[in-house]
Chains A and B, each alone.
Chain A
Amino acid sequence: MEHHLVLQIVSRILIPLIMLFALYVQFHGDYGPGGGFQAGVIFAVGFILYGLIYGVDRLRKVIYPALLRIMAAFGVLLYAGVGVAGMLNGGEFLNYSVLSTDAVAGQHLGILLIEAGVGITVASTMTILFYVFARP
Chain B
Amino acid sequence: MSVIFVNVVLLLFLVITALAINQQRNLFAAVMMSGIYSLICASLFVCLDAVDVAFTEAAVGAGIATILFLGTLAVTSYEEKRVVKVHFTSLFLVFICGGLLIYGLSDIPAFGEHSNPVQTYLADAYVNTSFEVIGVPNLVTSVLASFRGFDTLGETTVIFTAGISVLMLLGRGKPKGQSVVQEEIK
Contact = CB atoms under 8 A, between A and B. Distances in A.
Interface residues of A, number: 53
B137 A76 contact: no
Contacts of A75: 156, 160
A83 B145 CA distance: 12
B137 A111 contact: no
B171 A132 contact: yes
Interface residues of B, number: 45
Contacts of A111: 134, 136, 141-142, 145-146
Contacts, number: 137
A69 B162 CA distance: 12
B135 to A, nearest CB: 4
Contact of B68 (A29, A69, A115, A130): A130
Contacts of B136: 30-31, 107-108, 111
Nearest to A38: B55
Interface of B: 51-52, 54-56, 59-60, 63-64, 67-68, 71-72, 74-75, 133-138, 140-142, 144-146, 149-150, 152-153, 155-157, 159-160, 162-164, 166-167, 170-171, 174-175
